[in-house]
């Protein structure tokens, strides 16, 4: 995952002329792209118009101009922003302030074979500084503040990898801040852990509960052979807390699921592909708040994806349609674990040609067979269940819980039930 680390510059530096030159080339390149010129032609024009600019410096400015052009070819970009342009037109800001708002940080791409970046040397471990070298006569040493031990450890690892030509590091810089841009996954040593073939972890996401089901898949039929481990995570109390607390505990949940996958040796992790837009769900204010505000779906999904990459576990997102209905009618556990088991099955066969998303209707549990034997599809079964208001979801019952404890501590406000 590409991340950006923002670091304040402690010493006084003067990049005003460099910033003006860089931004002039960006705007010039953008306008030439709109006129139909290609990169090679623009490089020749810039050599004549800006003779003092170095080739790699100019090339990065051209690429940024191309980025603005590619973003929306049908619209005209207002450098500095339309809001500031209107302010200037009504004399609410000075001409100097308007010019300042048009200056974006200098952006230089990283190169693995150039020790991370040809215009930058990291010296975090011993000097707590970064050297920017636009050319042999124009070098600037950036003094960094005292770094948190976690960030410093990460940047030292980044420094070593860049010197070994194993990690590209891009950067953006102005007079106040330097931004380091790199692939976070390269900082973690990837150990080849033994994987159990055909073992997959399915996750069912709900605002108040997360279901986890680790299943062994039959490689011939792509059906569930055996459920190895199942648990449910209760978030009811956590959802009453503040946003920062919920974000922190969401990361802890991801760590817990990661440890389960490593412990059992899962080859794959399968999750629902959810895109729930903020809207009125017509179930009351409390339900709307829970779905629209309290449920941190994207953080959970992105963090799980990152952890799967670090452990070389295949990450798959599947269509969640009718997963709860199918799960509860085909498996013998609680609602969210049944759904997670169905999601695990879908993940195992997502990329297998000619296989239907839904299982065969014969997989329905015996107690439901007589009720739905006449139905032709899972859609019909789902609709009949909704209309008849039959209770098919299996609630959590203390009698089937093997152990119950807090995820990390009581202060986490998360209850974990192993079934």
Distance CA 77, CA 122 (A): 34
pLDDT for position 254: 93
Domain boundary among 187, 208, 241: 187
217 and 179 both lie in a single domain: no
Q: Band of the pLDDT at 122, cuts 50, 70, 90?
A: very high
Task: Give the residue from 155, 187, 219 where a domain finishes.
Answer: 187
Stated length of the chain = 419
Q: Is residue 193 part of a domain?
A: no
Q: Are 34 and 138 found together in one domain?
A: yes
**32 & 163 share domain:** yes
pTM of the model: 0.60
Does 218 map to a domain? yes
Residue 307 phi, psi (nearest 5) = -70, -35
For position 297, which CATH number holds?
Answer: 3.30.420.10
Helix axes 243-264, 297-310, angle to 10 degrees: 30
Whole-number pLDDT of residue 356 = 82
Provide the domain limits for residue 154. Answer: 2-187
Q: What is the side-by-side strand order in the sheet with 403-406?
A: 314-318, 268-272, 199-205, 209-217, 224-234, 415-418, 403-406
- The answer to whether residues 344 and 213 touch, using CB atoms and an 8 Å cutoff, is yes
The DSSP code sequence of 136-156 is TTEEEEEEP-PPPHHHHHHHH
Instruction: State how beta strands 199-205 and 268-272 pair.
Output: parallel
Write out pLDDT tens, residues 49-98: 998 788 999 999 999 999 999 987 878 888 888 899 999 999 999 998 98
Assign 3-state DSSP to the chain and report helix, strand, coil percentages, each to 5.
45, 20, 35
Q: Choose the final residue of a domain: 134, 152, 187.
A: 187
Domain total of the chain: 2
Does residue 361 surpass a pLDDT of 70? yes
């Amino acid at each position: 995952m590409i991340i950006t680390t923002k670091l304040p510059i402690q010493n006084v530096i003067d990049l005003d002329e460099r910033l003006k030159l860089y931004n002039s080339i960006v705007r010039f390149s953008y306008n030439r792209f709109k006129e139909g010129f290609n990169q090679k032609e623009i490089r020749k024009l810039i050599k004549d118009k800006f003779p003092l600019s170095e080739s790699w410096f100019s090339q990065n400015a051209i690429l940024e101009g191309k980025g603005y052009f590619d973003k929306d070819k049908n619209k005209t970009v207002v450098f500095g922003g339309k809001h500031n342009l209107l302010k200037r037109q009504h004399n609410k800001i000075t001409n100097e302030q308007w010019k300042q708002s048009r200056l974006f940080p200098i952006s230089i791409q990283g190169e693995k074979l150039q020790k991370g970046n040809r215009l930058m040397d990291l010296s975090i471990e011993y000097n707590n500084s970064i050297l920017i070298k636009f050319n042999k006569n124009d070098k600037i040493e950036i003094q960094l503040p005292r770094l948190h031990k976690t960030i410093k450890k990460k940047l030292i690892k980044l420094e070593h990898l860049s010197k070994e030509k194993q990690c590209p590091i891009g950067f953006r810089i102005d007079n106040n801040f330097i931004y380091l841009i790199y692939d976070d996954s390269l900082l973690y040593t990837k150990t080849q852990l033994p994987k159990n073939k055909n073992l997959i972890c399915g996750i069912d996401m709900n605002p108040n509960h997360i279901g986890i089901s680790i299943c062994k898949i039959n490689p011939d039929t792509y059906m569930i052979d055996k459920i190895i481990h199942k648990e449910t995570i209760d978030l009811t109390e956590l959802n009453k807390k503040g946003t920062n607390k919920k974000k922190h505990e969401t990361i802890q949940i991801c760590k817990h699921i990661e440890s389960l996958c490593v412990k059992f040796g899962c080859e794959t992790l399968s999750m629902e592909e959810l895109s729930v837009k903020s809207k009125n769900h017509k179930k009351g204010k409390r339900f709307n708040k829970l779905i629209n505000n309290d449920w941190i779906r994207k953080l959970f999904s992105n963090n799980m994806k990152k952890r799967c990459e670090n452990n070389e576990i295949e990450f798959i997102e599947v269509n969640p349609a009718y997963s709860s209905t199918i799960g509860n009618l085909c498996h013998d556990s609680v609602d969210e674990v049944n759904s997670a088991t169905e999601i695990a099955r879908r993940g195992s066969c997502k990329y297998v040609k000619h296989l239907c998303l839904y299982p065969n209707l014969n997989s329905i549990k015996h107690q439901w067979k007589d009720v739905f034997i006449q139905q032709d599809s899972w859609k019909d079964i789902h609709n009949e269940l909704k209309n008849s208001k039959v209770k098919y979801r299996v609630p959590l019952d203390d009698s089937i819980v093997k152990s119950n404890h807090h995820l990390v501590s009581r202060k986490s406000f998360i209850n974990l039930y192993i079934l």
